[in-house]
Amino acid sequence: MKWDFLRRLFDRQHTKENDWSYSRKYDTPATTDWGLLGCVLALVIIGLVMVFSATISLSDSPKYQTTPSHFLIRQFIFAVFGIIAGFITFRVPMRSWQRMSLFLGIVSIVSLGLVITPGIGREVNGSVRWIPLGPVNIQVSEIVKFAAVIVAAQFTVSRQFFMHSVIKGMFPIFTYVIVVAGLLSYQPDLGATAVFCCIVLGIAVLGGLSMRIIVPIGAMLAVSAVVAIITSPWRMGRVFAYLNPWDAENQLGKAYQLTHSLIAFGRGELFGVGLGASVEKMHYLPEAHTDFILAVIGEEFGLVGVTVVLLLFYWLIRRAFEIGRMAIRLDQFFSGLVAQGIGIWIGVQVIINTGVATGLFPTKGLTLPLVSYGGSSLMITFCALAMLFRVDYENRQLMYGRRSRK
């Protein structure tokens, strides 16, 4: 009885056709989802190629003073360490991650406290988001996203009887959201704050959160975002620049990145100008290898290239939700919510990054998962996807066990 509503929420109609079409991916339960793995590898390879293309001209920049292959080598090293970290993550059973949820939540809050402590956190472009550890900088917000998926899933599973109660049900998780969102905003990092809130709220909604709780919480988050923008002059400047980027003053000010990103997409047209032929990456478009790498893809490969990248992300996100639904069918509710939480995480981040690059949203510093340059983002994303593969693996093992008893 406790989980009946979740089964009704995630299960489709029990017809032979739907059961076959959905479970046919699990006909060989001991194997890996090679389609999902191929999708991930394709995005990583595209990322490596585009990072090299977007940074090859930075070797003559006074800001970097590096070799043409510097960023490619670092991204490749991050990818190797990410694969190792992902393999370790995959080896940990989901029940162990469930037991570590409280610990991970505490670690994420302590890490956010450390990053804003004077003398520990590193400031880049006016934001304190990194903890320097020798030759690398750890972006704490990426760890927070990973922890948020596990904490929210465990909370939702453990509070099923109280999901309609504000005090017993949502007060603890709402307190966690307020503390983490406040620390993220203090860095400031409004983009990571938005992704974090979407992860927690999305998992709570999938877990059966009452609408009479969702609406007030959504309204409070919206009001908080508006207040954060109004009380910050530089955020207000970004909003006004976003509304009118082609104003003469905005083109050379707050909308400088946006206008050059739009110019890159315009130059790419349908098929692009060719790999390596981008003009905007030649010191015109700042941070072309991180937040605006999609603009370089659009310029060099056109609408076709951007569509291919977005379709790969669509496939990845869809598989995350399918794996989550299968886990729910197998009564693995924590695993199912974790898998779908990972899908929410990647989906929201892709939407925001794409929206920023194309001018749909105000400029925010969020990477394109697996594609943009950035060690912390790449490694943590590998860990999250490894956990998704772990859920899929446990699904296959459970289905094999059930079939073997028939």
**139: three-class secondary structure by DSSP:** strand
One DSSP character per residue, 153-174 reads HHHHHHTGGGTT-IIIIIHHHH
pLDDT exceeds cutoff 90 at 354: yes
In a domain, 333, yes or no: yes
pLDDT exceeds cutoff 80 at 365: no
Higher pLDDT, 107 or 161: 107
Q: What is the pTM of this model?
A: 0.86
Nearest to 371 by CA among 318, 303, 320, 316: 316
pLDDT exceeds cutoff 70 at 361: yes
Q: Kindly give the interhelix angle for 140-158 and 190-206, rounded to the nearest 10 degrees.
A: 20
CB count in 10 Å sphere of residue 116: 15
State yes or no: cis peptide before 286, omega within 30 of 0. Answer: no
**136: three-class secondary structure by DSSP:** strand
pLDDT exceeds cutoff 50 at 118: yes
Q: To the nearest 5 percent, what fractions of the chain are helix, strand and coil? A: 70, 5, 25
DSSP 8-state secondary structure symbol assigned to residue 266: H
Q: How far apart are CA 61 and CA 176, in angstroms?
A: 43
Tell me the two tokens of residue 199. Answer: 């992860």
Nearest to 152 by CA among 205, 230, 204, 219: 204
Q: How far apart are CA 355 and CA 248, in angstroms?
A: 22
Instruction: Write down the pLDDT at residue 384.
Output: 95
The mean pLDDT of 220-234, rounded to a whole number, is 74
**Domain limits at 201?**
42-395
pLDDT exceeds cutoff 60 at 103: yes
Q: How far apart are CA 45 and CA 51, in angstroms?
A: 10
pLDDT exceeds cutoff 60 at 21: no
In a domain, 3, yes or no: no
The mean pLDDT of 155-169, rounded to a whole number, is 72
Instruction: Write down the pLDDT at residue 163.
Output: 65
The mean pLDDT of 140-151, rounded to a whole number, is 91
In a domain, 21, yes or no: no
CB count in 10 Å sphere of residue 88: 11
Q: How far apart are CA 36 and CA 233, in angstroms?
A: 43
Task: Give how far the C-alpha of residue 48 lies from the chain's centroid of Cα atoms, to the nearest Å.
Answer: 18
Instruction: Write down the pLDDT at residue 406.
Output: 37
What average pLDDT is seen over the chain? 81
pLDDT exceeds cutoff 60 at 300: yes
In single-letter form, the type of residue at position 359 comes to: G
**282: three-class secondary structure by DSSP:** coil
In a domain, 25, yes or no: no
Higher pLDDT, 115 or 306: 306
In a domain, 28, yes or no: no
- Answer for the pair 266, 258: CB distance below 8 angstroms, yes or no: no
In a domain, 24, yes or no: no
Task: Please count the CA atoms within 13 angstroms of the CA of 11 that sit on its side-chain side.
Answer: 14
pLDDT exceeds cutoff 60 at 202: yes
Q: How far apart are CA 326 and CA 25, in angstroms?
A: 11
- Helix (H) / strand (E) element for 132: namely strand 127-133
Burial 342-367 (b: 16+ CB within 10 A, else e): bbbbbbbbbbbbbebbbbebbbbbbb
Instruction: Write down the pLDDT at residue 45.
Output: 95
Strand partners, 133: 136
Nearest to 11 by CA among 309, 327, 301: 327
The count of structural domains within the chain is 1
**104: three-class secondary structure by DSSP:** helix
In a domain, 7, yes or no: no
In a domain, 87, yes or no: yes
